[in-house]
Amino acid sequence: MTDSKSTPLQVAVIIGSTRNGRFGPVVADWVISHIDQRDDMVADRVDLVETPLPTQFPAFGEAPSEEVQEMVGAVAPRLTAADAFIVVTPEYNHSFPAPLKNAIDWHNEQWHAKPVGFVSYGGIAGGLRAVEQLRVVFAEVHAVTIRNTVSFHNYGDLFDANGKSTDPTSDVAAKGMLGQLAWWGQTLRDAKRTRPYAV
Ligand SMILES: Cc1cc2nc3c(=O)[nH]c(=O)nc-3n(C[C@H](O)[C@H](O)[C@H](O)COP(=O)(O)O)c2cc1C
């Protein structure tokens, strides 16, 4: 069996917000800077603005148009290649943004038997209500959500002009979440090599 430590985990970091002027990329780059400090994982930054997904599904039984295939084809292989995910999400009306749900819904086996960690941000609740709802959705697509989260409460006060967190507890939280993500990612990757996941 390949030593799970010798092949870094491929971690897709998905930026959940797409609006003009969004803060999401700052948070994503912050968590990627933590991944970059580790030798057991590498990050792939998936930005749904750079690679948008269609917002309308084809009718059941209808082949997707070429345009739809092209849009989905720009994202799906990257999610397939991922051993693990980090979802960076704000809180929109006590839930998560619609483009993020759309990205989850356009895929299925890409999520199977893979761990998902969360980094959230928002007002006083720090985006945690979005995270709790995401756990329910990811369970449906056979993903395993990571217990520890990183959440930025009233995030506007917590980053400097260079996008660095000024809250030392967030660095501790990132270490904890990434440690659990690595454990689940390596364990599930090894297990799937021995026996295919039972859908
Ligand atoms: C449509 C909408 C709904 C929002 N609802 C909430 C909310 O329920 N709770 C909260 O803490 N912040 C809420 N906010 C504020 C967001 O947390 C804040 O605008 C954040 O910057 C959004 O992330 P983004 O900049 O990456 O889009 C909302 C923002 C928008 C645009």
Residue 171 CA to residue 176 CA, distance in Å, equals: 9
> Token digits for 31?
């968590």
Contact predicate 167/158, CB 8 Å: yes
User: What are the residues facing 121 on neighbouring strands?
Assistant: 90, 152
Report the nearest-CA residue for atom 1 of ligand 1: 92
Output the pLDDT for position 5: 58
For 50, how many CA atoms within 13 A lie in the half-sphere containing its CB? 8
Output the pLDDT for position 184: 98
Each residue of 74-106: pLDDT tens digit? Answer: 999 999 999 999 999 999 999 999 999 999 999
Give the residues of the chain that fall short of pLDDT 70: 1-5
Amino acid at 161: A
Q: Could you tell me the distance, in angstroms and rounded to a whole number, from the CA of residue 122 to the centre of ligand 1?
A: 6
What sections of the chain are H helices per DSSP? Answer: 24-36, 66-73, 76-81, 98-105, 128-140, 168-194
Atom of ligand 1 nearest to the CA of 90: 23
- Calpha distance 142→46 (Å, rounded): 20
In 3D, which of 92, 101, 119 has the Cα closest to residue 48?
101
71 three-state secondary structure: helix
**What integer pLDDT is reported at residue 96 of this predicted model?**
98
pTM over 0.85: yes
Residue of 91, 176, 74 whose CA lies nearest to 125: 91
| Residue of 49, 88, 92 to mutate, ligand 1, most atoms within 8 A of C-beta | 92
- Residues in a beta bridge with 42: 10
Pocket test for ligand 1, best of 18, 91, 101, 152 (most atoms within 8 A of CB): 91
